[in-house]
Amino acid sequence: MHTETYRQLDRDHHLHPFTDFKALGEEGSRIVTHAEGVYIHDSEGNRILDAMAGLWCVNLGYGRQELVAAATAQLRELPYYNNFFKSTHPPAVKLAEMLCRLAPAHMNRVFFTGSGSEANDTVLRMVRRYWALEGKPDKQWIIARENAYHGSTVAGLSLGGMAPMHAQGGPLVPKIAHVRQPYWFGERKLAEGRDTSPETFGRECAAALEAKILELGEENVAAFIAEPVQGAGGAIIPPESYWPAVKEVLARYDILLVMDEVICGFGRLGEWFGSVHYDLQPDLMPIAKGLSSGYLPIGGVLVGDRVAETLIERGGEFFHGFTYSGHPVCAAVALKNLELMQAEGIVERVRDDVGPYLAERWATLAGHPLVGEVRSRGLIGALELIDPDTGERFPKSLGAGTLCRDICFDLGLVMRSVGDTMIISPPLVITRAEIDELVGLAREALDGTARRLAAREQADGPAIMIQPSIEESRS
Ligand code: PXG
């Protein structure tokens, strides 16, 4: 079919996730047809470096025939059976065992789901159930963070802290509170215009968590949920003081720690889990995305011994599960994905080789006049766009981030914008040469963005009204 035919059918029949349906209908979709390694290809013949690994998930890169073979073999053997009613199948069992081997030593159980959102629904059910079984049914409050993303189901949306999402989804799940995020550049430096050090700010954010626990009453608080590094919120890498200070706070109170590893899990930060990178011992870890390198949908919750033992010994039946919990084909692909990551030393490669290399190359963008801050950790990176004349954000109406994102696409690079924060999260198999290409394209895109913004300002205000982007519906 021709590109225009696809566009027309897409416009007529397809409602896209996180999309202004009308605006996209007018603009038309990009049709991605195939992919290999770190590159995607579209129906108009463009080859584009996918510096987002799809949606933070294609960790092993595109086109891995071993994953295709694992799926095909499993489809032939047993395309579907469930894990309900005292049944299971080899792929689910083998994947569970392997995951628990890779997870921190105190995590020896996994509950499978079909996605990260379902994983966080499971988290919500599990933590409240845990405390009820412990004889503390009042411990129901879950503390999350502002601007967090934990998924799009009602529980995921409620745990998340994105105000525009909350405005559409209510009423939300009760007894979820949000505390401030450790986003020094956006919150402290720009929004508040103060220059407290990142380390002080990190400790202040941990103190805000403690204040919230005291306000709600420890006897009413079930858990704190957070990502090691906030992904969708804008690749927010907390100040070094943040996690140690949060650990100190949590040690004073009896509440569970849930680390959302949907993005940071499976090598993104140079360890199997972001929690290991930050030396955290969570009670629960929701996982998805990189678990199967995105080849098939699968997620889950890794459960620490403390919670698992209570659920097993005292819980009776847990009335929760999904038709596709531990789907055999998804599980077979996830297992093969983890085996390949292990055999090829992908996690160590991120930690010792491409992670430090990206950090070094990415940091060279700091000198660009549009860039107010550069940060990276493992294979996550961000650039904060600012107006060089004021050192502040550009007026929202200029849509600087969206403009930069669109210029990236035209140059052959997928780089996301979250407001005016540009973010990357490339496949973990990216080579040094491809990192050079990525950084070169990002620099070109920044130059192009600067030129276009200057032209607009000269034309006395925004000449072109920019369509609200998918990303901006969240920021
Ligand atoms: N937790 C985190 C930390 C996530 O990033 C989810 C849970 C939900 O997972 P599912 O599989 O239900 O989507 C996510 C998902 C983006 C973007 O544009 C990010 C996600 C999903 C879609 C888009 O950054 N993260």
Phi and psi at 382, nearest 5°, equal -145, 150
3-state secondary structure of 107: strand
Alpha carbon of 34 to ligand 1 centroid (Å)? 22
Using pLDDT thresholds of 50, 70 and 90, give the confidence band for residue 467. Answer: very low
Residue nearest to atom 1 of ligand 1 (CA): 150
Whether the pLDDT of residue 469 is over 60: the answer is no
Alpha carbon of 159 to ligand 1 centroid (Å)? 12
Provide mean pLDDT across the span 261-276. Answer: 98
Residue nearest to atom 2 of ligand 1 (CA): 150
Domain ranges across the chain: 31-63+346-459, 65-342
Please state which CATH number belongs to domain 31-63+346-459. 3.90.1150.10
pTM reported for the whole predicted model: 0.96
Q: Is the CB–ligand 1 distance for residue 350 below 6 Å?
A: no
Alpha carbon of 262 to ligand 1 centroid (Å)? 7
Radius of gyration for the alpha carbons in the chain, expressed in angstroms and rounded: 22
Q: Are strands 141-145 and 176-179 parallel, antiparallel or unpaired?
A: parallel
Whether the pLDDT of residue 259 is over 90: the answer is yes
Please state which CATH number belongs to domain 65-342. 3.40.640.10
Q: CA 178 to CA 219: how far, in whole Å?
A: 18
Alpha carbon of 357 to ligand 1 centroid (Å)? 26
pLDDT of 217-244, one tens digit each? 999 999 999 999 999 999 999 999 999 9
Q: Provide the pLDDT for residue 460.
A: 52
Q: Is the CB–ligand 1 distance for residue 117 below 6 Å?
A: yes
Q: Is the CB–ligand 1 distance for residue 114 below 6 Å?
A: no
Mapping DSSP onto H, E and C, the string for 37-63 reads: ECEEEECCCCEEEECCHHHHCCCCCEC
Alpha carbon of 56 to ligand 1 centroid (Å)? 8
Q: CA 344 to CA 337: how far, in whole Å?
A: 11
Which ligand 1 atom sits nearest the alpha carbon of residue 232? 24
Q: Is the CB–ligand 1 distance for residue 116 below 6 Å?
A: yes
Query: How much is the mean pLDDT over the chain?
Result: 95
Q: Is the CB–ligand 1 distance for residue 288 below 6 Å?
A: yes
What 8-state DSSP symbol labels residue 185?
Answer: I
Whether the pLDDT of residue 474 is over 50: the answer is no
Alpha carbon of 401 to ligand 1 centroid (Å)? 20
Q: Which of 240, 249, 55, 80 is CA-nearest to residue 152?
A: 55
**DSSP per-residue letters across 252-289:** HS--EEEE--TTTTTTTTSSSSHHHHTT---SEEEE-G
